[in-house]
């Protein structure tokens, strides 16, 4: 597999593949450090999506579309339809948001079904000691997106109801009452529910994506690791397993990208709804 | 699982991606789609209109053909009438001419017959007188019997 992995043990191989290319920003490292591989891969893939769609968007004709434009339009209309179902306002922001989420995550997830050592080997050749090519298997990536969605949820909620109205809603829902006494009594529970919602939404959004892609990635690593360690015995089985899991994983990466996009739009639309 | 500054970097990257999509991808594509939808709607409407116009034109053509046929029939009838009239007139004219010619010929014939008769009568009288003169040369004085001879001529 990769150039240096020939002599290392199975555990070393897995450990090696689970280590980020980390660059400390300060002496202390820790929180103040960057995962260079995640940043590089996510930006490259994001711009790949932008160039692909931008290329056909620039040349978009309202006449008979070419095959490329037809596909891009199909993808856009699919995403637009999902947003339209949940959101009944202008889609000038939510449309692009959903499209970006869907295709960016799909592209990043797709790195998962490429051979596990392909990109790391290229990175090793370029001088990196560690390289994880799947950005969505990094919690930083998934939390960055889910927290951005949370901020947008708050923003759209306040935009629709006003800042006061939004927090009034947080205090008086879901447990509503008629008289003042009951309202005061129920307020703490409402606030608690609101806070739980504010935490569970981004956490579940981020961890669902991360968990699915990380698990898939790890399985590929295990299969590849077993193949390298116990060559004669595992090799044929490994190839069969690798191909079989690739098909399952293809389905997973698509579904996860869709779920993330769909839930992000749903959360934002829910925040804007009047109770 | 390790949260670090990568998160902030990815938030920034995410926002940049959305902004770029919002500026360079979404508007031109949606505009193209909407324009095409409008074009298709207009095309369908135009097709409907054209179909209706064609039906109208067909109806008008049928009407025109009907009118033309009626006019043609009228013209033919008029022509037939005229032809009959001309033939009738020609026949009457011919009959009248024939009658006239016949009358003129009859008059000529009558005239000539009358004249011939008168001439014949004169000649017979002369012959009679000449015969009588030859027979009665000696016995009858022409002058004396002039009145008698004239009476004879008148009687012939």
B131-148 pLDDT per residue, tens? 877 777 656 566 767 777
| pLDDT in the model for residue A3 | 40
pLDDT at residue A232 is higher than 70 = no
| pLDDT in the model for residue A2 | 43
- Average pLDDT over every residue of A31-55: 92
The top-scoring range by mean pLDDT among A175-184, A222-231, A264-273, B90-99 is B90-99
Which of B8, B11, B14, B37 is the best mutation test for A, with the most CBs of A within 10 A? B14
User: At A46, is the pLDDT very low, low, confident or very high (cuts 50, 70, 90)?
Assistant: very high
In this structure, the number of other CB atoms found within 10 A of the CB of residue B35 comes to 14
Q: Do A99 and B25 touch (CB under 8 A)?
A: yes
Tokens found for residue A24: 């400390």
In this structure, the number of other CB atoms found within 10 A of the CB of residue A171 comes to 14
Q: Do A139 and B2 touch (CB under 8 A)?
A: yes
Looking at per-residue pLDDT, the higher value among B144 and A134 belongs to: A134
- Average pLDDT over every residue of A37-43: 92
| pLDDT in the model for residue B147 | 79
Residue of chain B minimizing CA distance to A18: B1
Q: Do A141 and B6 touch (CB under 8 A)?
A: yes
User: Are A105 and B14 a contacting pair, CB within 8 Å?
Assistant: no
User: At A274, is the pLDDT very low, low, confident or very high (cuts 50, 70, 90)?
Assistant: low
Residues of chain A with Cβ-Cβ distance to B11 below 8 Å are 144, 147-148
**Residue corresponding to tokens 């749903």:** A266
Residues of chain A with Cβ-Cβ distance to B2 below 8 Å are 20, 139-140
Listed range (A48-62, A180-194, A250-264, B67-81) with the worst mean pLDDT = A180-194
* Total count of residues recorded for chain B: 156
Residue of chain B minimizing CA distance to A63: B36
Does ipTM top 0.85?
Answer: yes
Of residues B9, B20, B28, nearest to A39 (C-beta): B9
User: At A108, is the pLDDT very low, low, confident or very high (cuts 50, 70, 90)?
Assistant: very high
- Average pLDDT over every residue of A31-59: 92
Q: Do A76 and B30 touch (CB under 8 A)?
A: yes
DSSP-derived secondary structure for chain A: --TTTTSS-HHHHHHHHT---EEESSTT-GGGEEEHHHHHHHHHHHHHHHHHHHHHHHT--SSS--HHHHHHHHHHHHHHHHHHHH--S--TTHHHHHHHHHHHHHHHHHTTTS-TTHHHHHHHHHT-S-----GGGSHHHHHHHHHHHHHHHHHHHHHHH-HHHHHHHHHHSSS--SSHHHHHHHHHHHHHHHHHHHHHHHHHHHHHHHHHHHHHHHHHHHHHHHHHHSHHHHHHHHHHHHHHHHHHHHHHHHHHHHHHHHHHHHHHHHHHS--
Half-sphere exposure of A133 (CA within 13 A, CB side): 20
Residue of chain B minimizing CA distance to A69: B29
Q: Do B10 and A147 touch (CB under 8 A)?
A: no
| pLDDT in the model for residue A218 | 92
- Average pLDDT over every residue of A111-125: 89
User: Are B11 and A144 a contacting pair, CB within 8 Å?
Assistant: yes
Listed range (A43-57, A114-128, A129-143) with the worst mean pLDDT = A114-128
Tokens found for residue A231: 């060559």
- Please give the backbone phi and psi of residue A33, each rounded to the nearest 5 degrees, phi first: -135, 160
| pLDDT in the model for residue A62 | 85
- Average pLDDT over every residue of A96-118: 93
Between helices A163-172 and A180-229, what is the axis angle to 10°? Answer: 90
For A191, residues 6+ apart whose C-beta sits below 8 A from its C-beta are: A170, A171
pLDDT at residue A4 is higher than 60 = no
| pLDDT in the model for residue A5 | 42
**Between the CA of residue A212 and those of A134, A145, A203, A251, A259, what are the distances in Å?**
12, 16, 14, 11, 12
Of residues B4, B18, B32, nearest to A61 (C-beta): B32
Tokens found for residue A194: 């609101």
Rounded CA-CA distance A9/A23 in Å is 26
Of residues A31, A57, A92, nearest to B29 (C-beta): A57
User: Are A82 and A98 a contacting pair, CB within 8 Å?
Assistant: yes
Residues of chain A with Cβ-Cβ distance to B5 below 8 Å are 25, 31-34
| pLDDT in the model for residue B137 | 65
Catalytic residues of A: 204, 208, 212
User: At A19, is the pLDDT very low, low, confident or very high (cuts 50, 70, 90)?
Assistant: confident
User: At B67, is the pLDDT very low, low, confident or very high (cuts 50, 70, 90)?
Assistant: very high
| pLDDT in the model for residue A227 | 78
| Cis upstream peptide for A35 (omega within 30°) | no
| pLDDT in the model for residue A8 | 63
Q: Do B7 and A140 touch (CB under 8 A)?
A: yes
Residues of chain B with Cβ-Cβ distance to A54 below 8 Å are 20, 24-25
pLDDT at residue A266 is higher than 60 = yes
Residues of chain A with Cβ-Cβ distance to B4 below 8 Å are 30-35, 140
pLDDT at residue A43 is higher than 90 = yes
pLDDT at residue A125 is higher than 80 = yes
Rounded CA-CA distance A12/A225 in Å is 9
Residues of chain A with Cβ-Cβ distance to B39 below 8 Å are 62-63
User: At A9, is the pLDDT very low, low, confident or very high (cuts 50, 70, 90)?
Assistant: confident
- Average pLDDT over every residue of A167-172: 82
Q: Do A76 and B29 touch (CB under 8 A)?
A: yes
Rounded CA-CA distance B4/A260 in Å is 22
Which stretch of DSSP H or E encloses residue B95?
helix B26-136
């Amino acid at each position: 597999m990769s150039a240096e992995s020939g002599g290392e043990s199975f555990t070393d191989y897995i450990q090696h593949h689970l280590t980020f290319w980390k660059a400390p920003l300060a002496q202390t490292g820790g929180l103040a450090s960057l995962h260079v591989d995640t940043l590089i891969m996510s930006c490259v893939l994001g711009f790949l999506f932008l160039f692909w769609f931008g290329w056909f968007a620039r040349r978009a004709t309202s006449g008979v579309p070419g095959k490329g434009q037809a596909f891009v339009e199909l993808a856009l209309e699919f995403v637009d339809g999902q947003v339209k179902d949940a959101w009944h306002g202008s889609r000038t922001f939510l449309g692009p948001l959903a499209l970006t989420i869907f295709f960016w995550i799909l592209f990043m997830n797709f790195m998962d079904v490429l051979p596990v050592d392909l990109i790391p080997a290229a990175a090793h050749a370029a001088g990196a000691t560690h390289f994880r090519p799947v950005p969505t298997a990094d919690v930083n990536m998934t939390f960055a997106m889910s927290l951005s969605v949370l901020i947008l949820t708050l923003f759209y909620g306040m935009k629709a109801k006003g800042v006061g109205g939004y927090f009034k809603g947080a205090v008086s829902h879901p447990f509503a009452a008629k008289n003042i006494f009951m309202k005061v009594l129920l307020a703490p529970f409402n606030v608690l529910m609101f806070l739980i919602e504010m935490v569970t939404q981004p956490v579940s959004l981020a961890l669902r994506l991360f968990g699915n892609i990380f698990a898939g990635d790890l399985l590929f690593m295990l299969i590849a690791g077993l193949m390298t360690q116990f060559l004669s015995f595992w090799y044929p089985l490994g190839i069969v397993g690798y191909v079989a899991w690739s098909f399952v994983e293809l389905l997973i990466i698509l579904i996860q990208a869709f779920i993330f996009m769909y839930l992000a739009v749903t959360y934002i639309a829910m925040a804007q709804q009047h109770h | 699982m390790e949260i670090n500054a990568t998160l902030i970097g990815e938030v920034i990257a995410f926002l940049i991606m959305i902004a770029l999509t919002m500026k360079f991808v979404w508007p031109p594509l949606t505009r193209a789609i909407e324009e095409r939808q409008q074009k298709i709607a207009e095309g369908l409407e135009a097709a409907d209109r054209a179909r209706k116009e064609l039906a109208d034109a067909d109806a008008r053509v049928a009407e025109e053909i009907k009118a033309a046929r009626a006019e043609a029939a009228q013209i033919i009838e008029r022509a037939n009438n005229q032809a009959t009239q001309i033939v009738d007139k020609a026949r009457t004219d011919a009959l009248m001419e024939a009658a006239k010619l016949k009358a003129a010929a009859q008059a000529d014939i009558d005239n000539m017959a009358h004249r011939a008769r008168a001439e014949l009568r004169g000649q017979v009288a002369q012959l009679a007188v000449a015969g009588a003169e030859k027979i009665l040369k000696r016995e009858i004085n022409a002058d004396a019997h002039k009145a008698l001879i004239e009476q004879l001529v008148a009687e012939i």
